[in-house]
Amino acid sequence: MGWKKTCIGFVLHRLRLTESVVAKRGKFGSVIENQPQSRILALLGRDMSTTPTTTRRDFAQDDKEKTYMSYMNGNMIKPVLLVLSALLLAVVSAADIEDIVACPCEIAPLPDLRHKELTARWMVHSLNWGVLSTISSRLTSSEGDRLSIPFGNVYSFVDGTCQNSTGTPYFYGTHLDQSFKDSLVNNHASLTLSEASISSVCLSTSSAGVMKRKACQIGLKYGDPENPVCARLTLTGTLEEVTVPAEKEWALQSIFQRHSSMEQWPQDHDWVVAKLVLKDIWLIDFFGGASILDLDAYYHADDFMKEITGSSGDAEEEDKH
């Protein structure tokens, strides 16, 4: 798409130049007869040093004609450039646009505010990335003592395929990365999610209502990711590598479905699949402070998740285990 954007940019640039010239000449055309030659040249932005000598009468007559022709040319060129711009925009095919805006999964509507566990499950299934925080194995005190200093790192995750939600976040990472290095020393971790992150991933028209929530939009009167009505969730537990072959294969299929570029990442990085085994769930999705959710109620929201994903999930659940 690079060459298309360049062409469109050029046409728009020429349009701005045309408007500038026409505006300048249109503004001063009515007084051109009564101005001395030097004044006319200055008004039109002409360079005195490159203008041939001529009489006042000849100059006035010639320049009136040139100004008129330039004005007419500007008015004729402008529609042509507009048409060219429209044609170039049309060349940006539907396939190109789809590459930019396609959502990995259809995003279901938000659950009722009264059902906190459902909101948490909706977030874990609908969102695609968050901040994974570990206890740093790199940062130490000035004396060299290891301290319990948190380290946050952006990570993509899934809790299953588009059609199946488990509630457990799965990650595709490598021990070359700091977060996975940290987990070898201390595997306690947390994953923080914000509802505001949805709009950073895709702009599917079918999910536009979900992703354009005013509560999360910076610039609106009350909109901000820190607004309590813009849901935020922190899952805390232990980051554990997935070693069971069937579960690992299932997790990889889910990850590659929803993060397709990962399948093309270099194979010499010794990629591993890990999951966050949950111990605590902290949620804010409305005024009145945070809710600490019950893990059993969170995982028992399966019926709701099956309904919004349009799948029973039974077969996949059996394959995973």
Instruction: Supply angle C-alpha 283, 286, 289, rounded to 5.
Output: 65
How many CA atoms, within 13 angstroms, populate the side-chain half-sphere of residue 308?
A: 20
Tokens of 160: 């299953």
Distances (CA, A) of 136 to 150, 187, 201, 309: 6, 10, 28, 37
Tokens of 169: 């976040």
Task: Give yes or no for a contact between 204 and 161, defined as CB atoms under 8 angstroms apart.
Answer: no
Tokens of 84: 């060219």
| pTM of the complete model | 0.66
Query: Which residue ranges form the domains of the chain, and what is each CATH number?
Result: 2-92 (no CATH), 116-320 (2.30.110.10)
Q: Residues for the chain: how many in total?
A: 321
Residue with tokens 């813009």: 230
Per-residue pLDDT of the chain (321 residues; tens, 9 = 90+): 555 555 555 544 554 544 444 444 444 444 434 444 444 344 434 444 444 444 444 444 555 555 555 555 555 555 655 666 555 555 544 444 444 556 778 888 888 888 999 999 999 999 999 999 999 999 877 777 778 899 999 999 999 999 999 999 999 999 999 999 999 999 999 999 999 998 766 655 445 556 557 888 888 888 999 999 999 999 999 999 999 999 999 999 999 999 999 999 998 899 999 999 999 999 999 999 999 999 999 999 877 777 777 665 444 454 554
- Burial of residue 241 (CB within 10 Å: 0-12, 13-18, 19+) is middle
